Amino acid sequence: MGRVTSRHKVVRIDLDGEVSRTIDTIAGEEPLEIRVNGETFTVTMRTPGADVDLAHGLLRAEGVIARRDDVMSARFCSDLDTLNVLNLTVPGRDARTAVTSTRNLASLGGCGLCGTTAVDAIEAVVEQRPPEVLWEAAQIADALGELRSRQAVFDKTGGVHGAGLVPAGSSEVAIVREDIGRHNAVDKVLGSALVTGVETAGGLLVVSSRASFEIVQKAAVSGISVLACVSAPSSLAIEAADRLGVTLVAFARGRRMNVYTHPHRIPH
């Protein structure tokens, strides 16, 4: 799978058995520098692949773009040995126009940086609350099961997160992406939806990780109605989801799940 995975020698120790030498498949991790009109926006560690989707998803979540047509072009720097620098041409914008990024929040907090400041910054760019689309608990469980069954890189390495999107009115996961970073996996899914024209408003976003503030941010900006994560939520994720109108589901494992905000969207 190219740079997505690599093969490495490993000594395997079994305290109840024997020591053996074998070859292990490992998830790839390389830096990606994302530039906006030639200016560095951020550097993120990611699993190579779907980098254009990742960049679109990240820039949308950060308020730099709102639609596919905002990006005139996305090109890797061809004068480098590796495809680890991606420049997006966005007319009328620059790398400093991000208003929701946590790295820029210090300039917004006159009384100090806090969780409320972070949520306020997101509210400034969220155009409207997610649609009131209902999702059955069984649909959420099925979507998480399908996500797990389609995580090919995880099956090989055990070292990546997955994210998937079920559009409103559908019963199938339309887009699945994997990455060593849970935020990157979400950006790749939502960026792919932006690029290909798959509707995200009212949709169900499933993620094989804990529910963090940043993932709620990305879901809210894309109009996701229900965000379901396999592991625990953070306190700020719950606060953000509550204020931004996102139904947050966590500890979604098998046929059990906890609904922390806006439970009216999940009939029970």
Mean pLDDT of 187-207: 97
Tally of domains within the chain: 1
| pLDDT, position 223 | 96
Q: For residue 260, give the nearest of 210, 268, 145, 239 by alpha carbon.
A: 239
Of the listed ranges 32-46, 104-118, 153-167, 170-184, the least confidently predicted one is: 104-118
Asked if residue 44 is part of any domain, the answer here is no
| pLDDT, position 36 | 94
Contact 74, 87 (CB under 8 A): yes
Q: What is the rounded CA–CA span in Å between residue 48 and residue 204?
A: 25
Indicate the pairing of strand 73-76 with strand 5-13.
Answer: unpaired
Q: How does pLDDT run across 217-246, given as a tens digit for each residue?
A: 999 999 999 999 999 999 889 989 999 999
Q: How does pLDDT run across 31-46, given as a tens digit for each residue?
A: 899 999 999 998 888 9
Asked if residue 235 is part of any domain, the answer here is yes
Asked if residue 70 is part of any domain, the answer here is no
In order of 10, 64, 182, 185, 207, the CA distances from 29 in angstroms are 18, 26, 13, 13, 19
Asked if residue 52 is part of any domain, the answer here is no
114 flagged as catalytic? no
Band (105; pLDDT cuts 50, 70, 90): very low
Q: Which domain holds residue 159?
A: 137-265
Asked if residue 165 is part of any domain, the answer here is yes
Band (81; pLDDT cuts 50, 70, 90): low
Which residue among the candidates 77, 111, 114, 229 is catalytic per the annotation? 111
Asked if residue 205 is part of any domain, the answer here is yes
Mean pLDDT of 60-68: 91
Asked if residue 206 is part of any domain, the answer here is yes
| pLDDT, position 116 | 67
What CATH number is attached to the domain comprising 144?
3.40.140.10
Contacts of 72 (CB under 8 A, 6+ apart): 89, 90, 91
Mean pLDDT of 52-73: 94
Asked if residue 11 is part of any domain, the answer here is no
